[in-house]
Structure 1
């Protein structure tokens, strides 16, 4: 990948917050959404980082996406369990509020869970986790979108559900373990990237509408459409398929709003679960165990000596540290899109 121009993280924060506020977002919403999108960029999740700013603001300007904190409705709250209706408010704000609510339950009673229905696009799930692991909390996020079908059932042909990612942050004595895994073989973003590049996918991870496993991204964009295979592919996809059903139940099922309602616009169902180890075996015992396991993993013999075994999130955290130290490298297309949005809002460009 070509190295892009580097920008100071605070400069980007100020610039993007101003874009959102000028487009009509509340200051609080602008700050939270900017923080989440920048964190995704810092961790190397460039398909779910600052490239989403223009898309989000475009949705705001058409009225499809909302940006007022007051529109996020707290439907119920037991102290441990909370339900929010996002009413299509910017997704990173909805999920951040849900995690804060779940963390409050966890720190007061050991565990908290908050569910959001009808949030707009929520970005990179891993980007939400570190503030909670820094507090010694285990944080988990599950997500689905009941308006979209992209992934087939194991043994089936037709697209039924979304990639349904699961993310978790696990505190250790050092850097946290951050995992973010979709219940599909690949993401829609990768399929689209390969299509634009005119290249096949790395593996045959798609199902054509005729029931043939394929690595050709064109077989996904057909009428009727093809589908993405569940995590595990043709051989072991029953595992990813089963986990995807669990995610559907924990998100849209608990939210009381899902595929049965036939929503006609993108609207994430998301569930945040936070656990405080202090209410169980204790934080020291927990981080002793997670750190011990981490050391075992990192010390294991690699298949390729040039590629040592690493923990989930380890590469992203290294990128994050470098970006905060040296500046955030942005692809030229991202810069161009940001500046186009700035021009549309009559604001100065990012230089």
Structure 2
């Protein structure tokens, strides 16, 4: 059988093939959009989440793309997420705003807040918006990149379910609390940082569980505080470690606490150990998030040129390994997008596609078409 031929279902022969299957970004968008419309979302909301998921996988952030679809659906089924709700502004000034996400889908809240921050930054030089009552927002760099399109610097951080043990502790009390920052250069070049303040994101642990693979040493600890490599054990009973590892975990711990201070604490949402454990407890997320923009035109002239000068210098430095040139944060994602464009789509495992195929049958939507 020719496993490269385009199929719409995973036949027994296809299941036995040891390869990835290629799905176009347009097809990913179509599938996710139809799924959310079937779940009761408005076309606008379905489009928002489809853009976010397709964008994450296209960049290579598989942990926050299609991999997150199941948890979103569970939240909808359990009634802890409102697909028809819209955010509202509780208070604002020329440069700031406090928003209630009204339990809307996280990407809907994020888009609302970032667009508000962009507007304020254009008018006042800076826009700083925090939101309570939100939900998981997907891959975080999706939002600072919106600022880039307007020639602005963008920043996003948020809190998440408590799965990270503070440096020196055995039990989780903070989320992976990701931070993303984007700065524009010339000719659409840019610096885009997106990091979890844990050593690795929770979503990557989930992927190791799904594929029954052992974790690298140092990613997670058990209840005794010692490293564990069993992915399922780490996911169900353990805790992630802060960014920086055994000797420098105080740095990731501090960054995670900073993200919490600027999102959950500032916005008045739940925070730290008081946030529900996503996927394990039927309870509203009430997550806190921060979205900020800076207009470089209010500061020293020539920002983009100087930023590009620095990025080009770094990229042209002599690498330790000639096969792996020095990169700037954001290059990895751009390279993945180029690779996927050349291949005609994103690569998915048979495990992932089998799950989406089962979901399609359950909801009565057309399954993903792959190559």
Partner of 1:335: 353
Q: Indicate how the Cα distance of structure 1 residues 199 and 52 shifts in structure 2: closer, same or farther if over 3 A, else same.
A: closer
**Partners in 2 of 1:101 and 1:133 — Cα distance?**
14
**Partners in 2 of 1:27 and 1:198 — Cα distance?**
36
Q: Indicate how the Cα distance of structure 1 residues 68 and 261 shifts in structure 2: closer, same or farther if over 3 A, else same.
A: farther
Deviation at 1:164, TM superposition (A): 0.9
**Partners in 2 of 1:96 and 1:275 — Cα distance?**
17
CA shift digits 1:53-87 (9 cap, x unpaired): 343234223322211143x2322222321122223
Q: Indicate how the Cα distance of structure 1 residues 94 and 349 shifts in structure 2: closer, same or farther if over 3 A, else same.
A: same
Partner of 2:45: 29
Greater alpha carbon shift after TM alignment, 181-190 vs 327-336? 327-336
Other structure's SS at 1:105 match: helix
Partner of 1:274: 293
Name stretches of at least 5 consecutive residues in structure 1 with no aligned partner: none
Greater alpha carbon shift after TM alignment, 339-348 vs 99-108? 339-348
Deviation at 1:336, TM superposition (A): 3.3
Match of 1:178 among 183, 192, 201: 192
Other structure's SS at 1:220 match: helix
RMSD after superposition: 2.3
Matches within 5 A, 1:38-187: 38-70=54-86, 72-145=87-160, 148-174=161-187, 175-187=189-201
Deviation at 1:324, TM superposition (A): 4.1
How many residue pairs align between the two structures? 343
Name stretches of at least 5 consecutive residues in structure 2 with no aligned partner: 1-17, 277-282
Deviation at 1:198, TM superposition (A): 4.9
Partner of 1:350: 368
Deviation at 1:104, TM superposition (A): 0.6
Q: Indicate how the Cα distance of structure 1 residues 203 and 300 shifts in structure 2: closer, same or farther if over 3 A, else same.
A: farther
Partner of 2:318: 301
Deviation at 1:170, TM superposition (A): 1.3
CA shift digits 1:158-191 (9 cap, x unpaired): 2110111101111111422211111111222333
CA shift digits 1:235-287 (9 cap, x unpaired): 011111111111110011111122389354334311101111011113xx111
Partner of 2:243: 231
Partner of 2:335: 318
CA shift digits 1:1-28 (9 cap, x unpaired): 9431232x33433332222122111121
Deviation at 1:312, TM superposition (A): 0.9
Deviation at 1:232, TM superposition (A): 0.8
- Check whether the contact 1:106–1:275 (CA below 8 A) recurs between aligned residues: yes
Partner of 1:188: 202
Partner of 2:21: 4
